[in-house]
Structure 1
Amino acid sequence: MTTRNLPLVAMLTHSAALSGAELLVARVAAARVETEVIVVLGEHGPLESLLSGLGVEHEVVALDPSVTEHAADAAGGLLAKGVSTLRSTRALARRLRDLGADVVVTHSAKAHVYGGLAGRLARIPVVAYVHDVVGAAGASRANTLVLRAALTTLPAARIANSRTTARSLGRSGPAPAVIGCPVDLPDQAAPSAPGPFTIGMVGRLTRWKGQDIAVRAFAAARALGLDPDARLRLIGAAHFGTDDHHAAELHTLVTELDLTAVVEFRGHRQDVDAEISACDLLVHASRRPEPFGQVVTEAMALGRPVIAADAGGPAEVLTHGEDGLLVRPGDVDALAHAILRLAGDEQERNRLARNGRHSAARYATPHIVAQIERVLVSAAR
């Protein structure tokens, strides 16, 4: 480590995949001003290359494979894996002491548990940066209890990415600072996309993200008069084994609805901004409340109008009819009519896009990182 005058922040995440929380870690670490940052990963993976490209110091403190295994229920059953979790926790605590970290920030459900424990063992203040709704549908009761206990007892401070996430933490433990996710705001909106009218949806191919809802709404909008040349682009891939079945079902649904010529499966893409810019409209259709919904603010920053599910973070970001449209989660008919409304009204799309860029400025990276660093500097020993 080099000589430093700023507090050293160790940002922990068990995963080195390029998912929402990990991309946020990279963005915040690269933009820090009032702190020094080292990102500590629990495994090797593509996040390492991204961090290297951004000039962010990072290292891997390899966790037991039973701790880092990827599963849809992200709390991971760490209590049931007590021996391996304890071994990993002790090794991490030693490394954090050797690094001279002034504050530890945990960024994933598993990291909140093993990283929170490691920070306490090393006698270093812990900040839990919570990116997910605790106790969301699909999480087991046992893992939710473990995660909630860790988030209540281990951190000295907590950050929640939305009011929705903050409410899920309950009333015990430090009062969370609600800080939205940072977004890079280009000087100008992305140029208009050439070719047929294109609707984009970005996200992991998993049932709760609602790609099937978007496909059905697209089909319904076509039946109501949407330009038959219009396209739907699904940007994202299945991440966990349980997602593979949903991805197969989506392909089957597209075939059954005779949409194979107009629905594109783009898979995982590195340059999400370019994918969004190639669309005329972005749709968000999650079945359950999204913790924040970074893709919503990313589209707004790029000057693309957004239709989003009226729940969770997107409902906090958007004001219906002013800087986007909100529809009831899971309502195929409402989403179809919203798509049809914007597809046929370029002036309205442009108005929502302009207002959306103005609203996205609230989440500009320098502004959000400054808020995050205030919490971290305050918590540092």
Structure 2
Amino acid sequence: MTTRNLPLVAMLTHSAALSGAELLVARVAAARVETEVIVVLGEHGPLESLLSGLGVEHEVVALDPSVTEHAADAAGGLLAKGVSTLRSTRALARRLRDVGADVVVTHSAKAHVYGGLAGRLARIPVVAYVHDVVGAAGASRANTLVLRAALTTLPAARIANSRTTARSLGRSGPAPAVIGCPVDLPDQAAPSAPGPFTIGMVGRLTRWKGQDIAVRAFAAARALGLDPDARLRLIGAAHFGTDDHHAAELHTLVTELDLTAVVEFRGHRQDVDAEISACDLLVHASRRPEPFGQVVTEAMALGRPVIAADAGGPAEVLTHGEDGLLVRPGDVDALAHAILRLAGDEQERNRLARNGRHSAARYATPHIVAQIERVLVSAAR
């Protein structure tokens, strides 16, 4: 316990990259009220600078490189690296005891395994904060089995970022608290973006995120009469060294569709809010159900209308026709017509944007962090 007599929460993630779960860790840690927080990373990386800038206490308990490598088979791979995983788990358990953690929160598939084991070894309650759909397409059977076993047996409590994620956990284990992701809600919507009509898409350049679907839909919308000066802005980069081939394919597709003058590859950007604010419309086009889809609520909070795939978290956040538009995942034609509909109707864009800001208030950071802290404080007792 700390001098303020607040529970000390150790938030664990194996990665120090600036991805969705890691950004959430930073946001929650900076906004906590009823707890003290230390973020424990398994590697060095850009998340350290972000945490420092926010004044969040953090440290690196360096894991064996074979544990932190960013492979798709995240949790299952730890089973094959038994000795390295055991060594990392013991080192982490010692450090958790040394810092006096009252509760451990795991924030990634690998952390659910090694962090959950470390918490148990240190006799500290574990809360699994699940950000991804367990057993999603692309995950190996071994990965799913190991992760599901860890999430069932190790934590004292679980948090899921959506009903979609909660359902993927199955019926065994502690009943998950469904708590959406926090979003900073500015006092006013971002001012209108100058220049040509711009459609934005934010996300890692990986196939399941569907940037190619957005590119094809943009091309189809142009063929149907979209202003030829309109732009498509892709914000994000290939991560973890596994998506470079897909990024190259996207560039090739843009060239083949003769869109190089109107499609912008913005790469990774620190200030995503500024990038979204520079757009008139945000598109989300994931092929498979998104666990939550933080970029959707971020755009809503900034007063930008959203078109999203009708699956997973975004389908729980948005009500079609009221605070955004939903289209069938992977349906290029439906997305093209939705783009064309909003591009040609400023009044409709403004209506959806106003309603979207109202809906985004449900996920305002203070409100969501209070819900999270209630779970953590309860687990620490």
Unaligned runs of 5+ in 1: none
8 A contact 2:76–2:147 mirrored in 1 = no
The alpha carbon displacement at 1:76 in A equals 5.2
**Closer, same or farther in 2 for the Cα pair 1:173/1:2, shift >3 Å?**
closer
SS of aligned partner of 1:241: coil
**Closer, same or farther in 2 for the Cα pair 1:131/1:24, shift >3 Å?**
same
Summarize deviations over 1:14-61 as a string: whole Å, max 9, x none: 000000000000000000000000000000000000000000000000
Summarize deviations over 1:325-344 as a string: whole Å, max 9, x none: 00000000000000000000
- 1:256 aligned partner: 256
8 A contact 2:307–2:324 mirrored in 1 = yes
The alpha carbon displacement at 1:360 in A equals 0.0
Distance, in Å, in 1 between the alignment partners of 2:247 and 2:300 is 27
Distance, in Å, in 1 between the alignment partners of 2:348 and 2:379 is 45
The alpha carbon displacement at 1:2 in A equals 6.1
The alpha carbon displacement at 1:4 in A equals 3.2
8 A contact 1:120–1:154 mirrored in 2 = yes
Distance, in Å, in 2 between the alignment partners of 1:2 and 1:365 is 24
- Pairwise CA RMSD: 0.8
The alpha carbon displacement at 1:143 in A equals 1.1
The alpha carbon displacement at 1:137 in A equals 0.6
Summarize deviations over 1:84-128 as a string: whole Å, max 9, x none: 000000000000001110000000000000000000000000000
8 A contact 1:185–1:361 mirrored in 2 = yes
SS of aligned partner of 1:286: coil
- 1:137 aligned partner: 137
SS of aligned partner of 1:78: helix
Distance, in Å, in 2 between the alignment partners of 1:332 and 1:251 is 18
Unaligned runs of 5+ in 2: none
The alpha carbon displacement at 1:154 in A equals 0.0
Distance, in Å, in 1 between the alignment partners of 2:76 and 2:272 is 28
8 A contact 2:130–2:159 mirrored in 1 = yes
The alpha carbon displacement at 1:75 in A equals 2.3
Distance, in Å, in 1 between the alignment partners of 2:238 and 2:73 is 15
8 A contact 2:76–2:142 mirrored in 1 = no
The alpha carbon displacement at 1:73 in A equals 3.1
SS of aligned partner of 2:79: coil
- 2:203 aligned partner: 203
The alpha carbon displacement at 1:371 in A equals 0.1
| Range with bigger deviation, 275-284 or 137-146 | 137-146
SS of aligned partner of 1:348: helix
8 A contact 1:72–1:240 mirrored in 2 = no
Summarize deviations over 1:115-147 as a string: whole Å, max 9, x none: 000000000000000000000011110011000
- 2:76 aligned partner: 76
8 A contact 2:2–2:8 mirrored in 1 = no
8 A contact 2:2–2:36 mirrored in 1 = no
8 A contact 1:236–1:268 mirrored in 2 = yes
Answering whether residue 319 of structure 2 is matched by residue 319 of structure 1, we say yes
The alpha carbon displacement at 1:240 in A equals 2.8
TM-score scaled by structure 2?
Answer: 0.99
8 A contact 1:125–1:380 mirrored in 2 = yes
The alpha carbon displacement at 1:71 in A equals 1.8
Aligned residue pairs total: 381
Summarize deviations over 1:164-203 as a string: whole Å, max 9, x none: 0000000000000000000000000000000000000000
8 A contact 2:18–2:46 mirrored in 1 = yes
Superposed structure 1 runs of 4+ greater than 3 Å apart: none
Distance, in Å, in 2 between the alignment partners of 1:119 and 1:374 is 19
Summarize deviations over 1:335-377 as a string: whole Å, max 9, x none: 0000000000000000000000000000000000000000000
8 A contact 2:39–2:59 mirrored in 1 = yes
Distance, in Å, in 2 between the alignment partners of 1:145 and 1:76 is 8
TM-score scaled by structure 1?
Answer: 0.99
SS of aligned partner of 1:76: helix
8 A contact 1:67–1:76 mirrored in 2 = no
SS of aligned partner of 2:357: helix
SS of aligned partner of 2:78: coil
Summarize deviations over 1:259-294 as a string: whole Å, max 9, x none: 000000000000000000000000000000000000
8 A contact 2:7–2:380 mirrored in 1 = yes
Percent identity of paired positions between Structure 1 and Structure 2? 100
Distance, in Å, in 2 between the alignment partners of 1:156 and 1:240 is 31
SS of aligned partner of 1:94: helix
